[in-house]
Chains A and B, each alone.
Chain A
Amino acid sequence: MSAPPADTYTVGGKADTWIGRIRDKAVKAYPPDRLLPDSQPAYVASWAYVFGALTLGAFIVVLLSGGVLAVEGPAWWHKSNAGLFVNSTHLWSTELFFMFMVVHLWAKFFMAAWRGRRKATWITGVIAFAVSIATAFTGYLSQQNFDSEWIGTQAKDGINSTGAGAFWNVLNFGQMLMWHIVLLPLLVALVIGIHVLLVRRRGVVPPFAPTQAQLAKAGLGLATNLAAPASPLAPQAPADSLPGDQPELLEDQS
């Protein structure tokens, strides 16, 4: 690399600034092919692995439809055909967002997806789920109709009984609307962003390795499995996996 022009102000050498250190750590943790991979391990070729991406897609539709609702306002979304359509799009994309997220949660739970240093990925997913519920709840309060009034009056006692009513007043429409369209979406997007980055960092969790009984049933003993790692029954960790990512060989409990 050539030296900077003499009239260019530079501070020290490489990574001598906090921005430089952050940049170097980010590039090291997320090289381009890890940040935006165009291939995945073979075991990802299953419908059980698509629900995370579907959740993300539904979330984008939620944000876009919510943005249109914010531009046009409640008279439009209650009275006009286009407004009713976008309002329904916002509702049903939210329904799909939660359905996909729950199926994603089930799939990851039964895969024990916190294996291989993926605890933070699991925890951020749980936080995203909880914050999403709060966001949806404030959405019900922001509809500007009798339904939202009913939900608000029913919810206030429950919220007040927790003590949270002191700073979370479900009858304060302005406060609930601001939480719904500003604070909570930012928080959900932030947590989902961290979650996706952790998935990129740690990789998609591999399935459980077959048990010895399953290997024996398939005509493959333990020694055969170890000697021939290319066995179609033995899932392989991705080449760039981290320590602890190796598929686990379960003890036969039967």
Chain B
Amino acid sequence: MGLVSGTSVDGGTALFAALVHLGGAGKYIHWGFVQISLANLIVIAVMIVLFVAAIALPFPRHETRRK
């Protein structure tokens, strides 16, 4: 039995199997009239982190050419 419950997978496949059980009912966050799935909330959070990191982190530079 691999990491995905109910699915028979060998050891090699288990390495690539989902760490989170993806076969169950989705989890939702409720905030007043706002309802969003946890998965979508995580995706939005990752995008915000990416955006902030892209602005904050220095870009590796090398010798520039001038025409």
Interface residues of chain A, those whose CB is within 8 Å of chain B, are 39, 42, 45-48, 50-51, 81, 85, 95, 99, 102-103, 106-107, 239
Contacts and interface: CB of A to CB of B under 8 A. Distances in A.
Contacts, number: 35
Contacts of A46: 54-55, 59
B31 interface: no
A103 B43 contact: no
B58 to A, nearest CB: 9
A48 B43 contact: no
Contact of A99 (B47, B54, B67): B47
Interface residues of B, number: 16
B38 interface: no
Interface of B: 13, 16, 43, 46-47, 50-51, 53-55, 57, 59, 61, 64-65, 67
A95 B51 CA distance: 16
B54 A51 contact: yes
The main secondary structure of chain B at its interface with chain A is helix
Contacts of B67: 239
A99 B46 contact: yes
Given A99-B47, A107-B51, A47 B13 contact: no
Contact of A48 (B16, B46, B54): B54
A103 B54 contact: yes
Given A47-B57, A99-B43, A103-B47, A42 B64 contact: yes
B47 A48 contact: no
7 contacts: A45-B59, A45-B61, A46-B59, A47-B55, A102-B47, A103-B51, A107-B51
B16, B43, B59: which has the most chain A beta carbons within 10 Å?
Answer: B59
Contacts of A42: 64
